[in-house]
Amino acid sequence: MEAKMQKFLQPFKHLEIQLEEITSATNNFDHTNCIGGGGFGKVYKGEVSHSKGRSMAAIKRLDPRHGQGTPEFLKEITMLSDYKHENVISLLGFCCQGSEMILVYEHASRGSLDRHLNSPHLTWSQRIKICLDAANGLRYLHDPRGTHRRLVHCDVKTSNILLDEQWNGKHSVIVTIASGTPGYVDPYYEMTHTLTKESDVYSFGVVLFEVLCGTLCCTYSKGRVQQDLVPWWIESYKKKKLYDIIFKDPTIQPLDQSTLEIFSDIAYRCLNESREDRPTMDEVVIALTTALRHKEVI
């Protein structure tokens, strides 16, 4: 590690994990332990010791060939070490030895929410609770209350909401990417090319409709949107035809009308064309809390 890098990382020394520990946990980055990947490289699972103890972790091995270099690595450490919330995936540690740059995160054993949208094993109470968890996490990022820097997520979607063993929802945050994903991104972005906390609110509205309808908002072909369901969902809400689009499964109890109205109303408001007319994440949390309480007493 270069002297300059060492000096920069000195305040985060308590988060450092030795490469030997990581290679042992992943069986030298064996493909059988690979649980995902993206523009940054691959993610592996493995049990490691870290500043909070010892646990299963998600180990992100940065690949410089994919454009992720030293600046992105350092930014991830400096920013994510500040964010500590039960509904935001924690940064557990890092490794910077030789040519390796590795980030170690809390592992969510049930994977991402998008994989469970049409699952008959999730009740409506569980679905609303997951949405409330995610809303709380986003509110924390948006409203620091002096404890950390405000962060616009910039890529809110069901594949970035992870679930632990108890089905608690947690945001996965990548601080180096700020472009959003087609289907979820604020339409206003196309005109301004700026993403704001109101853009996150729009994307969260798409997430809420995905949970309500049990399906992803878009289908893609060769990286482009082939079919976008969001306009149909908005029209269905306006025409009071939500039962035409709501997720149905004979093995789970149907969602009652009053809870549906509370849930769908806040989802629709998030998708408002005007950024100024969208609710804050505080308002979203209040609405989802009401929906969950209402569902549980019915």
Catalytic residues: 155
Q: How many CB atoms lie within 10 A of CB 136?
A: 21
| DSSP 8-state class, residue 181 | -
Amino acid at position 146, single letter: G
Range list of β-strands (E), 53-180 = 53-62, 91-97, 100-106, 161-163, 169-171
- Would you list the DSSP string of 205-270? HHHHHHHHHTS-SEEEETTEEEEE-HHHHHHHHHTT-GGGTS---TTSPPPPHHHHHHHHHHHHHH
Task: Say which residues have a Cβ less than 8 Å from residue 182's Cβ, sequence separation at least 6.
Answer: 218, 220, 224, 225
